[in-house]
A and B are shown apart, each in its own frame.
With several copies, the nearest count.
Chain A
Amino acid sequence: MAIKTFREAINEALREEMRRDDSVFLIGEDIAGGMGGHDGAPGSSGGMLGVTRGLYNEFGSDRVIDTPISESAIMGAAAGAALAGMRPVAELMFMDFFGVCFDQIYNQAAKFRYMFGGQSNTPMVVRGMVGAGFGSAAQHSQALWPIFTHVPGLKVALPSCPADAKGLLISAIRDEDPVIFLEHKVLYDTKGEVPDGEYATPFGIANVTREGEDVTIVAFGRMVLFANEVADRLAGEISVEVVDPRTTSPLDTEVIIESVECTGRLIVVDEANPMCNLASEVISVVATEAIGALKAAPIKLSAPHTPVPAAPNLEQAYIPSADEIEQAVRRVFAA
């Protein structure tokens, strides 16, 4: 075990899987950087936020492939190469760019296996940044996971800590289906214990990050950190259980329902915009399958139904906060 950043954990997962399996390659924009430049230029960037740093230098231009600014071509490159037997990991940089290339993901890669009657596997990963809090405004700060989760054929991973970032990415790369791997940009510099060597964190298995008996908080991605903070704040006063589903598709509804059956009180925190998001999904699952367990109305905490504002104070107000979560816990506990 060693303490690593979220960024280092992702880099390590990529490196180890590329060493393990020759069919794994990376493709995207400036994941190497400096292509076409002077001798020292190629590989000098390693991604806009340094996540792929050093990989070009170790694996070269056939395994770490920089491209023109052509996301449909990049996604098609991954989907087509996967059909042809490779294991591509494509970077979309900011997932907000999915709007220019989603067809290759949702109509093509996600549907091949079904449309082709089970003939094919499509082992590809699409990595990209999500989330607000970085000051990157309306077109570079979105959550978007409800959209990816809605699409049959896609799997969606949303790690909240370095250990899961590494373990889920290794699982994603080894998975035979297309996986959307979402990296919350505000988490890159967060640190945590990361087991040494190779390990795969399975999809569809929620992680209970805090055990408790009074209130269940289901939180996604960065919101898990806030939920944990609130659980710790309230320790001794209100016993809060925090459930981190880790993947939104598949979604571990079992662990969520078990938790609610024990606590009888549910709060769901999703940074995504509110309509048809994961908080709605989780509350709907509990209401249809375990309503009898609820001692109080569940509480949904999400961003408002607005784009992400540029101004730092507005952006902070946009993101669900630990204080809002704490108030919600007190409210639902009192009910």
Chain B
Amino acid sequence: MNKESALRAYRTMRLIREFETQIAREFAAGTVPGMTHLYIGQEAVAVGVCHELGNDDFIASTHRGHGHCIAKGCDVGLMALELFRKEGGICKGKGGSMHIADVSKGMLGANAIVGGASPLAGGAALAIKLRGQANVAVAFAGDGAANQGTTLEEMNFAASLKLPLIFAIESNGYGEHTLADYAAPGDLTERAAAFGMAAEKVDGTDFFAVHAAMERAVKRAHSGKGPSSIECVATRWHGHFEGDPQLYRPKGEVDALRRNSDPLKKFRATATKKKLGTKKEFDAIDADVENEVTKAVEAALAAPQPDLSELLTDVYATY
């Protein structure tokens, strides 16, 4: 990877971190309607997976989808408007945090149904296969979603039809307030492999590890070898949703994560070693990104609500 590409990756990870941090602040201030699930701690997964993808590659996302959106190239200004459910939002304010989408970017939506994304991503992968395109579809699924029948059946389905589909399993150790080990005695990577697909487990806090696994999976997909699974072991720094008291977490767990499992710190260290960026460059990106997100949030806060006539539009293309 060249320097320009690495700095772009860092910028995207920082954009996610900054966006989520400011949304967390706003949520605490009571300005964000509805439920919100933040992505902080998992930035390297979304960016590692999406870094080389274009608009003709598709992703289907989860309830924790802001990071996936940003990594797939969605505009943070339009995203902010959507989270505040304002006019001009990426979904006109009608979708909100759990349905944020930009189909033109190949981002087929966050999803409020756990396990909802995998079958949809399979459909996008099927379209790619039928059109003979050199593209892929990615199904994001948490370690909790991996226990939903829809996710499991899609793994076999994709293997059976040799779909250019990549399962990005985000193992952050929790599903809501339940520990992943309690919910799934088996190993998620072995489970995926048993369906007859290539499956590997990587450090989801290491952008370069995720990115490399993704390259292998994309190559397999392009050469008609069918689906792959990449289990990305990362950590969730915030509650399941904002406002979660997190009594189920041992004291100090999150502080330790911030110290030892920060995907951005790791990126800076590795990239610096690899001469892919300097402290000065990273700091400049941080400042630039903070400014960009601050503007986006301010604009969204100031924006008007959708016009009431929007209630009845967009139900059907024709009716």
A binding-site residues for B, Cβ under 8 Å = 25, 27, 29-30, 33-38, 40-41, 44-45, 48, 62, 65-86, 88, 96-97, 99-100, 103-104, 107-108, 112-121, 134-140, 152-153, 155, 175-177, 204, 250, 304-307, 309-314, 317-318
| Partner pick for A35 among B101, B122, B145, B182, CB 8 A cutoff | B182
Contact with A along B127-160 (1 / 0, CB 8 A): 1101100000100000011011110011011101
Residues of A within 8 A of B199 (CB): none
Interface pair A73/B157, CB less than 8 Å apart: yes
Residues of B within 8 A of A29 (CB): 175-176, 178
**Assembled-state Cα–Cα distance A242/B111 (Å):** 39
Interface pair B122/A77, CB less than 8 Å apart: yes
CB distance from A252 to the nearest CB of B (A): 12
| Partner pick for B311 among A108, A134, A137, A309, CB 8 A cutoff | A309
Interface pair A76/B123, CB less than 8 Å apart: yes
Interface pair A83/B123, CB less than 8 Å apart: yes
Residues of A within 8 A of B126 (CB): 27, 65, 77, 80-81, 86
Is the C-beta of B308 less than 8 angstroms from some C-beta in chain A? yes
Residues of A within 8 A of B249 (CB): 37-38, 41
Q: Knowing A80-B60, A112-B109 touch, does A69 contact B144 (C-beta < 8 A)?
A: yes
8 A Cβ contacts from B95-111 to A:
95-99, 101-104, 108-109, 111
Q: Knowing A108-B116, A311-B93 touch, does A177 contact B317 (C-beta < 8 A)?
A: yes
| Partner pick for B127 among A75, A80, A108, CB 8 A cutoff | A80
Given A96-B112, A107-B116: 14 more A-B contacts, CB < 8 Å: A68-B160, A68-B184, A76-B122, A79-B119, A81-B124, A82-B123, A83-B103, A97-B113, A108-B113, A116-B314, A118-B92, A119-B103, A136-B35, A175-B317
Interface pair B58/A139, CB less than 8 Å apart: no
Q: Knowing A68-B156, A175-B318, A204-B319 touch, does A99 contact B113 (C-beta < 8 A)?
A: yes
Interface pair A69/B147, CB less than 8 Å apart: yes
CB distance from A200 to the nearest CB of B (A): 12
CB distance from A253 to the nearest CB of B (A): 13
Residue among B34, B156, B249, B305 with most chain A CB within 10 A? B34
Residues of B within 8 A of A103 (CB): 113, 116, 150
Q: Knowing A33-B248, A310-B93 touch, does A139 contact B123 (C-beta < 8 A)?
A: no
Residues of A within 8 A of B175 (CB): 29, 68-69
**Assembled-state Cα–Cα distance A135/B93 (Å):** 12
Chain B residue with minimal CB distance to A40?
Answer: B247
CB distance from A234 to the nearest CB of B (A): 26
CB distance from B143 to the nearest CB of A (A): 10
CB distance from B240 to the nearest CB of A (A): 9
Interface pair B247/A41, CB less than 8 Å apart: yes
| Partner pick for A311 among B86, B111, B112, B120, CB 8 A cutoff | B86
Chain A residue with minimal CB distance to B182?
Answer: A36
Interface pair B33/A116, CB less than 8 Å apart: no
Interface pair B124/A309, CB less than 8 Å apart: no
**Assembled-state Cα–Cα distance A67/B247 (Å):** 18
Q: Knowing A115-B91, A317-B308 touch, does A36 contact B34 (C-beta < 8 A)?
A: no
Interface pair B119/A138, CB less than 8 Å apart: no
Interface pair B311/A314, CB less than 8 Å apart: yes
**Assembled-state Cα–Cα distance A137/B99 (Å):** 8
Residues of A within 8 A of B306 (CB): 309, 311, 313-314
Chain A residue with minimal CB distance to B93?
Answer: A311
Chain A residue with minimal CB distance to B251?
Answer: A38
8 A Cβ contacts from B256-293 to A:
none
**Assembled-state Cα–Cα distance A134/B18 (Å):** 27
Interface pair A36/B101, CB less than 8 Å apart: no
Q: Knowing A68-B157, A83-B103, A117-B90 touch, does A313 contact B308 (C-beta < 8 A)?
A: yes
CB distance from B248 to the nearest CB of A (A): 3
Q: Knowing A75-B119, A312-B33 touch, does A80 contact B124 (C-beta < 8 A)?
A: yes
Is the C-beta of B114 less than 8 angstroms from some C-beta in chain A? yes
Residues of A within 8 A of B29 (CB): none
**Assembled-state Cα–Cα distance A236/B121 (Å):** 60
